[in-house]
Amino acid sequence: MSDIKIKSAFISVFNKEGLDVIILKLASQGVRIVSTGGTYNFICELGVEATKVEDITTYPSILGGRVKTLHPGIFGGILARRDVPEDLNQVEQYNIPLFDLVIVDLYPFEETVASGGTDQAIIEKIDIGGVSLIRAGAKNFKDVLIISSRSQYEKLLEMLENNNGVTTLNERLFFAGEAFNLTSNYDTAIFNWFNRDSHSVCFKHSLTTAEHLRYGENPHQQGVFFGDLGVIFDQLHGKEISYNNLLDIDSALGLIDEFDDITVAILKHNNACGVASRATVREAWDAALACDPVSAYGGVAVLNRPVDEEAATEMDKIFLEVVIAPGYTGNALEILKHKKNRIILLRKKVVQTHETFRSMLGGVLWQERDNANEAEADMKPVTDVVPTKEQFDDMVFANRIVKHSRSNAIVLAKDGQLCASGIGQTSRIDALKQAIEKAGAFGFNLDGAVMASDAYFPFADSVETAFNAGITAVVQPGGSVRDKDSIDFCNNNKIAMVFTGVRHFKH
């Protein structure tokens, strides 16, 4: 039988919000209700008659509420197949009531973890009976409608009002799928809490929040973001965020988080085309834009300080697709809103996750996030010339940028400003030549500038080319079998060079 009239319901929920309307509608349609503890009291307070679960199981709630519903008298009424005579004979034999509707939610496990609950509080929020009831109702969707979240109450109410409590097979199948989606996500969250020290090597992630994008990387590709962007930022203005916007935003946040001083970065296609640290936001913007005003057009601007009116006025003079900042003071927001489609984001204080992963060859490639951040103390001089304090500052600055640039990557910097970068090249020397050429195109004098490399130099040609361009200090990981060749060239030409021992490949 495809269509089933709801005549009896089992209801047991942790959160009672919105349940009253459902209860009253069920009562008006003559539905018999069986319930537990607090839910039973809630129903009675509405003036609706209900049966206590204990009256069916003949057992009270025991073990501090850990065991209430785990009994054949309840599960038999949910799992009994109406088209199997043996099942119907058994429920009649044991006087088990049949249920056409099950409304159950789960203890707030993830919310308890997120709130910083104690281990014992978290463990007590691992639902046992609720999960079992939901799975039972979903398994027997041919005969039972399972409602597993209060977010489904509106749909249930429509079904009760429009169909007089009659459910179709397709409706029950839909809600069964939603139920298993919920329980699988719940179990994944529990496992990941138990596995927070990663003693079990496996990949389990479950995201039930999804945002459909206009398209993927290109218009002919579909795209969806799984996750909650509202945790990271609030969108204050502009068009719908695209797949490529999200890639740039992720890269922008990763880069700007490297800096404590007032800093502005401009990115295009996940790479920095302008970065500068200055005494004011306006000065930082001017210096960042000067790095490459051509690439900045249509780019993403990210700041680690609130945007003020003065900076906003200058930023509004070019087309920026996205602006990200922790705040907007005075009239800054209204100024930036002059461009109708410009995406303006208010960033929230969120710590990046400690892991990254991507799909690969039909599987998933996982790694720890590159959280290494080399300070001056981590840079070991390997040449006769020791860097000055100013050179060390610029090398720390440049090294933070090259860490977030596509390999092979070279960054040239001077006085807290990106002069140019060479990115995504198949050889390191080509990356350097690209950076030097770009710096010249935008009028940068590289005399006294520093060079940062994301990996070691396999030959001395890179330091020689850098020297000829005016570079006086170099930071690199070291580790090549030919490190001595580069060190010798630097010593012979009075260049300072330091090793960090940390490679920053990014692919």
Q: What is the pLDDT of residue 438?
A: 96
What does the mean pLDDT of the chain come to? 94
Q: Helix or strand or coil: residue 121? A: helix
Joined tokens for residue 141: 């969707």
Contact assessment for residue 52 and residue 40, using Cβ atoms and an 8 Å cutoff: yes
pTM of the model: 0.86
Residue 68 phi/psi, 5-degree rounding, is -130, -45
Q: Given a cut of 80, is residue 480 above it in pLDDT?
A: yes
Q: What is the pLDDT of residue 198?
A: 77
Please classify residue 116 by burial: count the beta carbons closer than 10 Å to its beta carbon, then call 0-12 exposed, 13-18 middle and 19+ buried.
Answer: exposed
Q: Which residues pair with 414 in a beta bridge?
A: 417
| E strand segments, 438-483 | 450-453, 473-476
Q: Given a cut of 80, is residue 489 above it in pLDDT?
A: yes
Going by DSSP bridges, is the β-strand pair 4-5/299-303 parallel, antiparallel, or unpaired? unpaired
Stretch among 54-58, 116-120, 190-194, 429-433 having the lowest mean pLDDT: 54-58
Contact assessment for residue 420 and residue 409, using Cβ atoms and an 8 Å cutoff: no
Q: What is the pLDDT of residue 505?
A: 95
pLDDT in tens, 422-443: 999 999 999 999 999 999 999 9
Residue 139 annotated to the active site: yes
Mean pLDDT, to the nearest integer, of 116-134?
93
Q: What is the pLDDT of residue 189?
A: 93
Residue 328 DSSP class: B
Q: Given a cut of 90, is residue 64 above it in pLDDT?
A: no
Please classify residue 26 by burial: count the beta carbons closer than 10 Å to its beta carbon, then call 0-12 exposed, 13-18 middle and 19+ buried.
Answer: buried
Helical H runs in 140-168? 153-163
Contact assessment for residue 173 and residue 141, using Cβ atoms and an 8 Å cutoff: yes
Q: Which of 25, 71, 269, 433 is catalytic?
A: 269
Q: Given a cut of 90, is residue 196 above it in pLDDT?
A: no
Q: Which of 16, 25, 139, 155 is catalytic?
A: 139
Distance CA 406, CA 80 (A): 59
Percentage helix, strand, coil for the chain under 3-state DSSP, each rounded to 5: 40, 20, 40
Edge-to-edge order in the sheet of strand 473-476? 233-237, 343-347, 320-325, 299-303, 263-268, 271-277, 417-422, 410-414, 450-453, 473-476, 496-499, 380-381
Residues with Cβ within 8 Å of residue 170, at least 6 apart in sequence: none
pLDDT in tens, 266-325: 999 999 999 999 999 999 999 999 999 999 999 999 999 999 999 999 999 999 999 999
Q: Given a cut of 70, is residue 136 above it in pLDDT?
A: yes
Residue 269 annotated to the active site: yes
Query: How far apart, in Å, are the Cα atoms of 486 and each of 187, 489, 491, 503?
Result: 54, 5, 9, 17
Q: Given a cut of 70, is residue 24 above it in pLDDT?
A: yes
Higher pLDDT, 197 or 331: 331
Q: What is the pLDDT of residue 223?
A: 95
Contact assessment for residue 27 and residue 3, using Cβ atoms and an 8 Å cutoff: no
Q: Given a cut of 60, is residue 356 above it in pLDDT?
A: yes
pLDDT in tens, 99-118: 999 999 999 999 999 899 99
Could you count the other beta carbons within 10 Å of the beta carbon of residue 47?
9
Q: Given a cut of 80, is residue 1 above it in pLDDT?
A: no
Distance CA 385, CA 490 (A): 9
Any idea which residue has 């960090």 for tokens? 500
Contact assessment for residue 452 and residue 402, using Cβ atoms and an 8 Å cutoff: yes
Q: What is the pLDDT of residue 62?
A: 79
Mean pLDDT, to the nearest integer, of 20-35?
94
| E strand segments, 170-270 | 210-212, 224-226, 233-237, 263-268
User: Per-residue confidence at 58, pLDDT binned at 50, 70, 90?
Assistant: confident
